């Protein structure tokens, strides 16, 4: 029986999966298997998998498209490892990733762990800028695994490990299209299980390749935050309202400029200057720092607007759980 089972849901991302499998084949700790779940892809990845059957112990499963949560559950049913590790197909793993994880699970007693994500040095400028926006303390409040945080650390499914026995006891992931990993972590903590942040066990996360796709992703994350609050009362924190306040603040500045003085428009320079200087300090790259401004605005406005829609639809109108861009999310 392998110690670890990597479970990877895939939807039309065969090229990215090949890069992930390459990094898995280079792991210094070898007691693991890989379970890949093809979630209704129009572009199956069987040919990519065939390239690594001699290097990796792979189980390949196919199902109709059901979303990431159910796909991970399907993979878990076929997994043999004592620990299940969920990673996204657009991630890359350092070669010592599993060695670090193994040392942690051997030396500490916990039920579930997560690790940070960061952009790889070889990622393109847009990917690095989006990676900055999604992981920086300045733009996230540290809730995605940074050193300083304004909310509880919840392991995310791009880099989440859990004991198989605990996963089964939890009943796996829910059928939420967005926020299913947070829902899982919240339920896990409610039941009294323990989690750890393993800071050294990071993954390189590609994120989206363009701002349009990124906007759709974070917009749905804003909606998901309201859905999660309804499922888990009390999990909504002040930090989660900042993007919507950011949107409202910009509208307020415009009104001040219209009915007061146009000099108020100079306030719009504060965020770009702050983001660019912070991104320069974090990345050391001028181009990435410039694009980080666009990434930060896309993230904050996308999340904030999604949060506002979720608040209106779920809390005020009392409608059922939903998500946006159903017909064109991947376009």
Choosing among 2.40.10.120, 3.90.550.10, 3.40.50.2000, 3.40.50.300, the CATH entry for 4-209 is: 3.90.550.10
What are the φ/ψ torsions at residue 97 (nearest 5 degrees)? -55, -55
Per-residue burial over 250-260, b = 16 or more CB atoms within 10 Å of its CB, e = otherwise:
beebeeebeee
Supply the pLDDT for residue 148. Answer: 42
- For the CA atoms of 238, 241, 243, 247, the dihedral, rounded to the nearest 10 degrees, stands at -130
Using CA atoms, how far residue 59 sits from 33, 175, 180, in Å, is 8, 23, 24
The DSSP secondary-structure symbol of 153 reads -
User: What pLDDT does 11 receive?
Assistant: 92
Q: Give the per-residue pLDDT at 327.
A: 63
Contact criterion met (CB below 8 Å) for 290 and 315: no
Q: CB 198: neighbour CB atoms within 10 A?
A: 22
Could you write out the DSSP letters of every residue in 10-70? Answer: ESS-HHHHHHHHHHHHT-S---EEEEEEEES-SS--HHHHHTTTTTS-EEEEEE----HHH
Q: What is the per-residue pLDDT for 146?
A: 46
Q: What does the pLDDT read at residue 303?
A: 96
pLDDT averaged per 10 residues in sequence order, the chain, 331 residues: 92 92 97 96 92 96 93 97 96 97 95 92 93 84 52 88 97 93 96 95 88 94 97 93 95 96 95 96 94 96 97 96 75 51
CA 196 to mean position of chain CA atoms: 17
Residues in contact with 234: Cβ distance below 8 Å, sequence separation at least 6, in sequence order: none
CA 103 to chain centre: 24
Listed by start position, the domains of the chain span 4-209, 216-316
Strands 4-10 and 195-197 turn out to be: unpaired
Q: How far from chain centre, in Å, is Cα 161?
A: 14
pLDDT of residue 280: 95
Task: Give φ, ψ of 141 to 5 degrees.
Answer: 75, 10
Nearest-10 crossing angle of helices 270-283, 125-135: 100
């Amino acid at each position: 029986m392998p110690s670890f089972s990597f479970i990877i849901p895939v939807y039309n991302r065969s090229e990215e999966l090949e890069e992930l499998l390459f990094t898995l084949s280079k792991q210094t700790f070898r007691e693991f298997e890989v379970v890949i779940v093809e979630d209704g892809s129009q572009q199956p990845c069987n040919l990519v998998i065939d390239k690594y059957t001699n290097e990796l112990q792979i189980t390949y499963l196919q199902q109709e498209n059901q979303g990431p949560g159910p796909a991970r559950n399907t993979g878990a049913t076929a997994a043999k490892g004592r620990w299940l590790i969920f990673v996204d197909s657009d991630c890359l793993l350092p070669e010592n990733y599993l060695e670090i994880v193994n040392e942690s699970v051997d030396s500490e007693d916990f039920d579930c762990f997560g690790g940070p994500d960061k952009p790889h040095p070889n990622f393109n400028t847009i990917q690095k800028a989006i990676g900055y926006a999604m992981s920086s303390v300045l733009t996230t409040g540290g809730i995605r695994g940074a050193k300083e945080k304004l909310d509880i650390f919840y392991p995310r499914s791009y880099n989440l490990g859990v004991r198989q026995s605990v996963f089964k006891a939890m009943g796996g992931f829910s059928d939420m299209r967005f926020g299913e990993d947070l829902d899982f972590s919240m339920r896990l903590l409610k039941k009294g299980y323990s989690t750890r942040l393993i800071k050294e066990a990071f993954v390189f996360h590609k994120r989206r390749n363009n701002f349009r796709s990124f906007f759709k992703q974070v917009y749905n994350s804003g909606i998901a935050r309201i859905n999660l609050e309804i499922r888990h009362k009390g999990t909504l924190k002040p930090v989660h309202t900042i993007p919507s306040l950011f949107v409202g603040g910009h509208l307020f500045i415009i009104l001040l400029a219209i009915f007061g003085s146009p000099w108020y428009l100079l306030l719009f320079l504060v965020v770009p200057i702050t983001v660019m200087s912070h991104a320069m300090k974090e990345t050391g790259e001028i181009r990435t720092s410039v694009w980080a401004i666009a990434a930060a605005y896309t993230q904050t406005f996308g999340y904030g607007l999604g949060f506002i829609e979720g608040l209106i639809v779920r809390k005020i109108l009392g409608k059922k759980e939903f998500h946006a861009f159903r017909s064109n999310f991947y376009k």
